[in-house]
Structure 1
């Protein structure tokens, strides 16, 4: 192979690698903040990550951060060192979860925005009774719910509420969806957007650079000054949990003078209003649904509506007949 052909091949490969890493378009009006982001190369010496800490079974490699390997009883996490004082932001996280089991795996991965950091625990490798936001990519079904797994769910903790393991967080969930993100040949991407107290989560689980809506919840109060983290854990069953990239974007949102004057460092985490609790396919026949009304519930609503219309028609006919009889009596 001549030099010209050699350099041509090298340029094509470099361009392909660059395009692969840069294919995800940043959000409109978003500014990448490196102090809250993770991208290759994660570390120059393999021992430390700028602006981040890691612990337990987490390991840094050239191409990914391994939170756990495919072994039982592991946990690992990475946490930002600098608290986030931004109100509006969006995260694009690439990850990969895979293992030898086709249908059985455990336990899953969690994305955090919490007051405390670097504290191991039983909730996907991090502490229970957390204060802030937890987003759970759960691969093991504990409860008897008639749904397939994996599932994605979100929870806002106040520092005293426990994560409900027996129902896979269903009692505390502010929204959830199903997504078959295990054992893919490509990386999976999740987008988490928080703007004006509205939390939206989208996923790209098909490798086509297309978003699918998962969770959309208004009225979510998250204080500033918390830390971002990613954790994972294995139990009696195991999976590899790899973090590929974590890109954090500050969003340019116009606010009034009154809104700018508000101190969001002192508010308490919480959800106001009545958000959808269950966005999963209750029938278990599909792997994804984004609606708060199940098919059975929708069927009941339609039946009740039809019965209501039927009753109204019958009452109308009876009233009409009685009026006709009264008119005939008057005529005679």
Structure 2
């Protein structure tokens, strides 16, 4: 009977933990960040972007893409926000495309959250010894035995640390994952980077099937982001080449809604109405009740079985 009680207690604690995690996840709200989002036609009437600068070999097709590099050797291009990303918690979802006509290709592209902006350099088309966060989509393997490429890697820069291209940044890797199939994928390729200050950093990829997000990495010890940091993208080709396209950028400011209703003031989201439990959590509560119902039924069955076994043993004597 002691084992039964322990099992039921463990199940109950797991249910509470699951419910708490679900409630916290449902409690996260978002506000679009227009200053860091970008979509077709990308440019304003004066053929400039209000919120982004671009340079190097970057070209823009207003009805299709922002091409950081074309499928030619020795190209470098960049795209950087004009204003810093000041949100404490944020999410950036990017649709991109890596493709080309050659069987051998390289080198890759990067996303940046850094103090520097718009500087051509040797790290996927941008400056080395950066301060901030870089996410590298590396398509060409130099020297990393046992690692499948393309490889997606995060690096945290302190302004002094250098990226070693010869080892594909092995010694400076913060987190990463292999992403075979991300080039020439049959579905729109996307990544989603979510950052909660002092809580977690998570990178998800979509390249296997549309609507299916694959976790690349997640950590509950996120790096510190500089207070003044710009969102940017860059790419480069060497002797080998590829097209590196940005299709769209969707940035959001994230915040936890107040649990008691009323109005919430998440920075620029002042005055946003918080959804009531009936509006936002009804399905979660419904499935929780179903889970608890079957938990009680299962516990009762286990208890009854144990009682019968006990009873039979007592009748033998």
Say yes or no: TM over 0.5. Answer: yes
CA distance in 2, matches of 1:50, 1:85: 17
Aligned partner of 2:226 in structure 1 is 223
> Given the superposition, is the C-alpha separation of residues 213 and 144 from structure 1 closer, same or farther in structure 2, using an over 3 Å criterion?
closer
The structure 2 residue matched to 1:250, chosen from 226, 234, 253, is 253
User: Who is 2:153 aligned against?
Assistant: 153
Query: Is the Cα contact below 8 Å between 1:114 and 1:226 reproduced in 2?
Result: yes
Distance 2:240 2:159 in 1: 29
Query: Does structure 2 retain, via aligned residues, the 8 Å contact 1:86–1:224?
Result: no
Q: Secondary structure at the match of 1:225?
A: coil
1:35 aligned partner: 35
Q: When you count helix as a share of all residues, which structure comes out higher?
A: 2
The offset of 1:43, in angstroms, is: 1.1
Contact 1:174 1:217 in 2 (8 A): no
CA-CA distance at 1:186 after TM superposition: 3.2
Match in the other structure for 1:68: 69
Aligned residues, how many?
229
Q: CA deviation at 1:254?
A: 6.3
> Would the aligned equivalents of 1:149 and 1:178 in 2 still touch at CA under 8 Å?
yes
Distance 1:144 1:51 in 2: 38
Bigger fraction of residues in strand: 2
Structure 1 stretches of 5 or more lacking a match?
A: 1-26, 261-332
Q: Is the 8 A contact 2:194 2:203 kept in 1?
A: yes
Whole-Å Cα distance in 2 between the matches of residues 28 and 239 of structure 1? 38
Q: Which residue of 1 aligns with 2:96?
A: 95
Which consecutive unaligned segments of at least 5 residues does structure 2 have?
A: 1-26, 259-264, 266-317
Give the Cα–Cα distance (whole angstroms) in 2 for the partners of residues 96 and 64 of structure 1: 9
**Aligned residue in 2 for 1:86:** 87
Partner of 2:213: 211
TM-score of the two chains, using structure 1 as the length reference = 0.66
* Displacement after TM superposition at 1:147 (Å): 2.3
User: 1:14: which partner in 2?
Assistant: none
Separation of aligned partners in 2, 1:46 and 1:142: 42
User: What's 2:132 paired with?
Assistant: 132
Task: Give the Cα–Cα distance (whole angstroms) in 2 for the partners of residues 252 and 195 of structure 1.
Answer: 9
Partner of 1:202: 204
Over the residues paired in the alignment, what is the CA RMSD in angstroms?
A: 1.8
1:50 aligns with 2:53: no
2:121 is paired with a residue of what secondary structure?
A: coil
Structure 1 residue 229: deviation in Å?
0.2
Change (3 A) 1:152 1:92: same
Per the TM alignment, residue 199 of structure 1 is displaced from its structure 2 partner at its CA by 1.1
